[in-house]
Amino acid sequence: MFLAVVDPRGPATVAPTMSATAVFALMLTALLVDYSSFGPDSLRDRAAFLMGLAAVRVGWDGSALDRYTVDTISAWINEAKRTGNTDLAAARTGEVLGVLVCLLAMYCAGCLLPTKASAKLGRYALLAFTPAAGRSGGGSAGSRYRLNWRLWACAWLLGMLADLGGGAIGEATQGFIDLVVRVLTPVPGWLFGVS
Protein backbone atom coordinates (compact mmCIF):
# COMPACT_ATOMS: atom_id res chain seq x y z
CA MET A 1 0.00 0.00 0.00
CA PHE A 2 1.13 3.54 -0.62
CA LEU A 3 0.19 6.89 0.84
CA ALA A 4 0.42 10.00 -1.31
CA VAL A 5 2.26 12.78 0.48
CA VAL A 6 1.52 16.16 -1.06
CA ASP A 7 4.30 18.73 -0.88
CA PRO A 8 2.98 22.29 -1.38
CA ARG A 9 6.23 23.19 -3.15
CA GLY A 10 5.93 20.54 -5.83
CA PRO A 11 4.11 17.48 -7.19
CA ALA A 12 2.82 14.69 -4.98
CA THR A 13 5.30 12.02 -4.01
CA VAL A 14 4.44 8.50 -3.00
CA ALA A 15 5.93 7.09 0.19
CA PRO A 16 5.48 3.42 1.19
CA THR A 17 3.67 2.85 4.45
CA MET A 18 1.92 -0.43 5.33
CA SER A 19 1.31 -3.59 3.37
CA ALA A 20 -2.26 -4.79 2.86
CA THR A 21 -1.71 -7.42 5.56
CA ALA A 22 -0.49 -4.79 8.01
CA VAL A 23 -3.52 -2.59 7.23
CA PHE A 24 -5.91 -5.44 8.03
CA ALA A 25 -3.92 -6.39 11.14
CA LEU A 26 -4.14 -2.81 12.43
CA MET A 27 -7.87 -2.58 11.59
CA LEU A 28 -8.65 -5.90 13.29
CA THR A 29 -6.65 -4.85 16.36
CA ALA A 30 -8.61 -1.59 16.55
CA LEU A 31 -11.91 -3.50 16.24
CA LEU A 32 -10.85 -5.93 18.98
CA VAL A 33 -9.80 -3.11 21.33
CA ASP A 34 -13.16 -1.40 20.84
CA TYR A 35 -15.31 -4.55 20.87
CA SER A 36 -13.76 -6.10 23.96
CA SER A 37 -14.04 -2.87 25.97
CA PHE A 38 -10.33 -3.12 26.75
CA GLY A 39 -9.28 -0.45 29.28
CA PRO A 40 -10.97 2.77 30.38
CA ASP A 41 -13.47 4.24 27.90
CA SER A 42 -11.44 7.35 27.12
CA LEU A 43 -8.16 5.51 26.44
CA ARG A 44 -9.83 2.64 24.59
CA ASP A 45 -11.76 4.99 22.32
CA ARG A 46 -8.68 7.06 21.53
CA ALA A 47 -6.55 3.99 20.77
CA ALA A 48 -9.23 2.32 18.62
CA PHE A 49 -9.96 5.57 16.77
CA LEU A 50 -6.31 6.30 15.97
CA MET A 51 -5.58 2.73 14.82
CA GLY A 52 -8.78 2.63 12.75
CA LEU A 53 -8.08 6.08 11.29
CA ALA A 54 -4.57 5.05 10.18
CA ALA A 55 -5.82 1.77 8.68
CA VAL A 56 -8.63 3.47 6.74
CA ARG A 57 -6.31 6.24 5.52
CA VAL A 58 -3.75 3.81 4.12
CA GLY A 59 -6.09 1.05 3.00
CA TRP A 60 -9.22 2.76 1.70
CA ASP A 61 -8.34 6.39 0.85
CA GLY A 62 -8.74 6.71 -2.92
CA SER A 63 -10.60 3.39 -3.19
CA ALA A 64 -13.93 2.69 -4.89
CA LEU A 65 -15.58 2.98 -1.45
CA ASP A 66 -14.01 6.43 -1.06
CA ARG A 67 -15.37 7.56 -4.43
CA TYR A 68 -18.80 6.12 -3.65
CA THR A 69 -18.84 7.94 -0.28
CA VAL A 70 -17.88 11.27 -1.88
CA ASP A 71 -20.50 10.82 -4.62
CA THR A 72 -23.23 9.92 -2.13
CA ILE A 73 -22.53 12.83 0.24
CA SER A 74 -22.24 15.20 -2.74
CA ALA A 75 -25.66 14.02 -3.97
CA TRP A 76 -27.14 14.71 -0.52
CA ILE A 77 -25.59 18.19 -0.50
CA ASN A 78 -26.95 18.90 -4.00
CA GLU A 79 -30.41 17.75 -2.92
CA ALA A 80 -30.27 19.99 0.16
CA LYS A 81 -29.22 22.95 -2.00
CA ARG A 82 -32.28 22.48 -4.22
CA THR A 83 -34.64 22.85 -1.27
CA GLY A 84 -33.26 26.24 -0.22
CA ASN A 85 -33.19 29.68 -1.78
CA THR A 86 -31.18 30.67 -4.86
CA ASP A 87 -28.23 31.88 -2.77
CA LEU A 88 -27.92 28.46 -1.14
CA ALA A 89 -28.13 26.74 -4.55
CA ALA A 90 -25.06 28.72 -5.67
CA ALA A 91 -22.83 27.10 -3.02
CA ARG A 92 -20.12 24.86 -4.45
CA THR A 93 -20.71 21.25 -3.48
CA GLY A 94 -17.00 20.45 -3.15
CA GLU A 95 -16.42 23.37 -0.81
CA VAL A 96 -19.46 22.48 1.31
CA LEU A 97 -18.11 18.92 1.56
CA GLY A 98 -14.72 20.35 2.62
CA VAL A 99 -16.40 22.38 5.36
CA LEU A 100 -18.22 19.26 6.61
CA VAL A 101 -14.93 17.34 6.72
CA CYS A 102 -13.31 20.16 8.72
CA LEU A 103 -16.24 20.20 11.16
CA LEU A 104 -15.91 16.43 11.59
CA ALA A 105 -12.18 16.87 12.24
CA MET A 106 -12.96 19.51 14.89
CA TYR A 107 -15.41 17.12 16.58
CA CYS A 108 -12.82 14.31 16.56
CA ALA A 109 -10.17 16.65 17.97
CA GLY A 110 -12.49 17.47 20.87
CA CYS A 111 -13.01 13.74 21.49
CA LEU A 112 -9.24 13.17 21.56
CA LEU A 113 -8.51 15.97 24.04
CA PRO A 114 -7.92 15.00 27.67
CA THR A 115 -10.78 15.94 29.98
CA LYS A 116 -8.36 18.08 32.03
CA ALA A 117 -8.28 20.51 29.10
CA SER A 118 -11.91 21.41 29.86
CA ALA A 119 -10.63 23.88 32.49
CA LYS A 120 -9.39 26.05 29.60
CA LEU A 121 -11.43 24.85 26.62
CA GLY A 122 -14.79 24.29 28.33
CA ARG A 123 -17.24 21.64 27.17
CA TYR A 124 -15.37 21.18 23.87
CA ALA A 125 -12.76 19.08 25.68
CA LEU A 126 -15.53 16.92 27.17
CA LEU A 127 -16.71 15.59 23.80
CA ALA A 128 -16.47 11.81 23.61
CA PHE A 129 -17.05 9.05 21.10
CA THR A 130 -18.81 7.09 23.86
CA PRO A 131 -22.14 8.53 25.02
CA ALA A 132 -22.17 9.46 28.71
CA ALA A 133 -25.15 7.21 29.46
CA GLY A 134 -23.29 4.13 28.26
CA ARG A 135 -22.05 2.77 25.01
CA SER A 136 -24.50 2.36 22.18
CA GLY A 137 -24.03 0.52 18.97
CA GLY A 138 -25.66 -2.87 19.18
CA GLY A 139 -26.08 -5.85 21.41
CA SER A 140 -28.26 -6.09 24.47
CA ALA A 141 -28.39 -3.31 27.01
CA GLY A 142 -26.25 -5.25 29.49
CA SER A 143 -23.69 -6.48 26.98
CA ARG A 144 -20.19 -5.04 27.29
CA TYR A 145 -19.17 -6.48 23.91
CA ARG A 146 -20.24 -4.10 21.17
CA LEU A 147 -18.75 -1.67 18.70
CA ASN A 148 -18.94 2.10 19.14
CA TRP A 149 -20.67 3.26 15.95
CA ARG A 150 -19.81 6.94 16.50
CA LEU A 151 -16.11 6.17 16.73
CA TRP A 152 -16.12 4.03 13.58
CA ALA A 153 -18.23 6.46 11.55
CA CYS A 154 -15.76 9.24 12.41
CA ALA A 155 -12.70 7.07 11.68
CA TRP A 156 -14.04 5.88 8.31
CA LEU A 157 -15.24 9.26 7.10
CA LEU A 158 -12.21 11.22 8.29
CA GLY A 159 -9.78 8.57 7.07
CA MET A 160 -11.19 8.62 3.56
CA LEU A 161 -12.23 12.26 3.21
CA ALA A 162 -9.55 14.22 5.12
CA ASP A 163 -7.88 15.33 1.90
CA LEU A 164 -11.05 17.27 0.94
CA GLY A 165 -10.75 19.71 3.85
CA GLY A 166 -9.10 23.06 3.17
CA GLY A 167 -7.71 26.01 5.05
CA ALA A 168 -5.85 25.80 8.32
CA ILE A 169 -8.12 23.08 9.75
CA GLY A 170 -7.84 20.93 6.64
CA GLU A 171 -4.05 21.20 6.54
CA ALA A 172 -3.73 20.50 10.27
CA THR A 173 -6.01 17.46 9.91
CA GLN A 174 -4.01 16.02 7.02
CA GLY A 175 -0.74 16.62 8.87
CA PHE A 176 -2.08 14.97 12.01
CA ILE A 177 -3.32 11.91 10.11
CA ASP A 178 0.01 11.57 8.28
CA LEU A 179 1.77 11.68 11.66
CA VAL A 180 -0.57 9.02 13.10
CA VAL A 181 0.10 6.78 10.07
CA ARG A 182 3.87 7.18 10.47
CA VAL A 183 3.73 6.40 14.20
CA LEU A 184 1.45 3.36 13.80
CA THR A 185 3.12 1.86 10.70
CA PRO A 186 5.50 -0.38 12.73
CA VAL A 187 2.79 -1.58 15.16
CA PRO A 188 1.47 -4.54 13.09
CA GLY A 189 5.03 -5.79 12.55
CA TRP A 190 5.86 -5.40 16.22
CA LEU A 191 2.68 -7.11 17.42
CA PHE A 192 2.21 -9.82 14.78
CA GLY A 193 5.41 -9.99 12.73
CA VAL A 194 3.68 -8.82 9.52
CA SER A 195 5.34 -6.34 7.22
Which DSSP category does 162 fall into?
G
Helices vs. strands in the chain: H and E counts, helices first:
9, 2
Model confidence at 3: pLDDT above 80 = no
The whole-number pLDDT of residue 141 equals: 42
From CA 142, how far away is CA 151, in angstroms rounded? Answer: 20
Could you tell me the pLDDT band of residue 155, with boundaries at 50, 70 and 90?
very high
Residue 13: strand pairing partners: 5
Q: Are 145 and 139 in contact (CB under 8 A)?
A: yes
> Chain-wide mean pLDDT for the chain?
85
Distance of CA 172 to the CA centre of its chain: 13
Could you tell me the pLDDT band of residue 132, with boundaries at 50, 70 and 90?
low
Q: Are 57 and 167 in contact (CB under 8 A)?
A: no
For the chain, domain boundaries = 2-192
Per residue in 6-15, pLDDT (tens digit) is 444 343 444 4
Could you tell me the pLDDT band of residue 195, with boundaries at 50, 70 and 90?
confident
